[in-house]
Structure 1
Amino acid sequence: MITVTRLNGSRVTVNALLIETIEEIPDTVICLTTGNKIIVQEDVPAVIEKIQAYLSKIGFIQATVKSHDSEG
């Protein structure tokens, strides 16, 4: 889960595994696989950083790297 800030300043926690796309048009829009969209204050690189930190924390990134290493 990642926490981001809506345009009105309220904080919302999002399941990072449900994020399908992130766009800056010009506000940052997070599109979820559920069809919901959330407009946030953070820019795209900041949201990506939060997602990567979360995936690292739950061990997803390490598992993916180990899987790719063992295939070669």
Structure 2
Amino acid sequence: MIKLTRLDDEPFVLNAELIRYVERRPDTFITLTSGDRIVVKESMDDVIERAVDYQQKKHFMPMPNMHHSVETSSL
């Protein structure tokens, strides 16, 4: 997830997995995989940097331990 700002200064969080492409014309347009388009205040380079940073951090996060076992030991 990346934090961005709409043109009306309203902050929002976007799932970076949904970004199809980013354009500068002169505002920054983000086209999502759904075909929806969002215009943001951040520059194209900022959006790309945040999306890449998100992807890198996602791969370094440890997975939660879903099989939490309780062990008892006797002394």
Deviation, 1:34, is 0.8
Deviations 1:3-52 (A, max 9, x none): 10000000111110110010001100000001111100000110011001
Deviation beyond 3 Å, 4+ runs, structure 1: none
- Kindly indicate which of the two structures has a greater share of residues assigned to helix: 1
Percent identity over paired residues: 43
CA RMSD of aligned residues (A): 1.1
Higher-Rg structure is 2
**Partner Cα distance (1:38, 1:12) in 2:** 11
Query: Which residue of 1 is the match for residue 31 of structure 2?
Result: 31
TM-score normalized with structure 1 length: 0.79
Q: List gaps (5 residues or longer) in structure 1.
A: 61-72
Give the total of aligned pairs.
Answer: 60
